[in-house]
Amino acid sequence: MGQTIERRGEEKATRVAGIPLWRATAAPEPLLAQLEQRLAEFYARDKRYFAIAGANDQRRFYEALRPYLEEAPRPGAGRLRVLEFGAGRSGFPDWLDEQGLRRRIELTLQDVTTLNRDWLLPRTDALLVGDAAEGLDGGPYDLIFSTFVYEHLVRPDRVVEACLAALAPGGRLALFSPAYVVPGYVPPALRARSRWAGLAATVFLCLQSLRTRLTGRPNFWIAAEPAVFDQAFRIDADAVHLVAPADLDCLLAGRARRRTLHLPAHGLRDWIWSRFLLLAAVYEKR
C-alpha cells in the first residue's frame, strides 16, 4: 500500500498512499501548533461547525454514565465532582435536572472556545475555558467525560494525561468517540482523498492498532491535512485524530483499569456501529 517514510530534519511523517500521517506523541511541535492554528481559523470562519456542535443532547451517552453519577461521593466530599470537557452547547446539565441528579453533582463544564459561554454559565457550577491539553483546573474530579471531542484533539495524548492528573484516586475518565480501526471505515478527515487512498489508510490504521497492542507503544495518529481544508464542511471532516482505542489502553496501562461501556443498540446497523466503530470506555484511575 505504498508506505514510505518522509524526513523533516529529525522528524518523520508516514505517508500512506500519499496521505501524510503523524504520531501526536512524536510530531514536531511547530506542526501541531500550525494545525491547531489552521483549525482555529477555520472555526472562526465557518459557523456551521458550531451549529452542529451545538445540537448536542447526547442523552444516550449520559445514560451510560448513570451508574457512576448515582454513586455516593467520596468520604468527606459533599457532592460528586464531575467535569465535562469539550462541552460545546452541552445538554448534560438539563439531562441531569430532568433525571433528578443535578443537586447531587458539583458540575464543571469546559471548552476551548467561549462561543457557548452564555448557554453554559447558567447551567454549571464552574466554567473552564482553554485547551484541555494545557491542563484541567478545579479538580480533583470523580468523573471526567466527553462526548465526540476526543477525535477532534490535535494532542489527544496530552489531554488524556491532563484528565488523569485532574482525577481523584479511583476517579473515572469516560470517552465517547468514533474509532477508526476497521478496514474500510474511512475517517471523514481522509475522505477528500481517493477511495483507494482512504481504504489503504484504514488498513494501515488497523495494522498499527494491532502493533500497538503487541508492542505497548501508543501512536495517536493525526491527519495534518484533514478534508476540511479541501472541501466544504461535513461532519467530522475536521476530526484530525484517527482514534485507535489501543493507544488509550497502552497509554493508561498500569495507571487505570478499563471497562467497555455497552450502549443499548437500536437495530443491527446501530449495534454494528456501537460495537465496532465507536470508542465507549471508562478508565478508573488506580
Ligand X SMILES: C[S@@+](CC[C@H](N)C(=O)[O-])C[C@H]1O[C@@H](n2cnc3c(N)ncnc32)[C@H](O)[C@@H]1O
List interacting residues with ligand X (CB under 6 A): 53, 56, 58, 85-88, 111-113, 131-133, 146-149, 152-153
- Preceding omega of 140 cis (within 30 degrees of 0): yes
195-215 and 245-252 are packed helices; what angle lies between their axes, rounded to 10 degrees? 20
Rounded Cα distance between 120 and 143, Å, is 19
DSSP SS3 for 229:
helix
Name residue, grid cell 494545557: 134
Residues 6+ apart with CB under 8 A from 15: 2, 3, 4, 5, 6, 21
Q: Which one, 81 or 152, has the nearer CB to ligand X?
A: 152
Residue closer to ligand X (CB basis): 35 or 112: 112
Provide the minimum distance between the beta carbon of 86 and ligand X in the complex, in angstroms, as a whole number: 3
DSSP assignment of 1-54, as one string?
--EEEEEETTEEEEEETTEEEEETTTS-HHHHHHHHHHHHHHHHH-THHHHHHH
Which residues are paired to 175 by β-bridges? 146, 281
- Residue 18 and residue 84: Cα distance in Å, rounded? 37
* Minimum CB–partner distance for residue 70 and ligand X (Å): 21
The nearer residue to ligand X, 153 or 179, going by C-beta atoms, is: 153
CB of 189 to ligand X, least distance (A): 13
CB of 94 to ligand X, least distance (A): 13
Q: Which is nearer to ligand X, 135 or 183 (CB)?
A: 135
Judged by beta carbon, residue 46 or residue 131, the one nearer ligand X is: 131
Least separation in angstroms between residue 284's CB and ligand X is 22
Q: In this complex, which beta carbon is closest to ligand X, that of residue 88 or of residue 188?
A: 88
Cβ–Cβ under 8 Å, residues 110 and 83: yes
Shortest distance, CB of residue 120 to ligand X, whole angstroms? 10
Cell numbers at 108, concatenated: 464543571
| Three-state DSSP state, 260 | strand
C-beta closer to ligand X: residue 110 or 208 = 110
Q: How far is the CB of 214 from ligand X (least distance, A)?
A: 30
Is the separation of the CB atoms in 69 and 143 below 8 Å?
yes
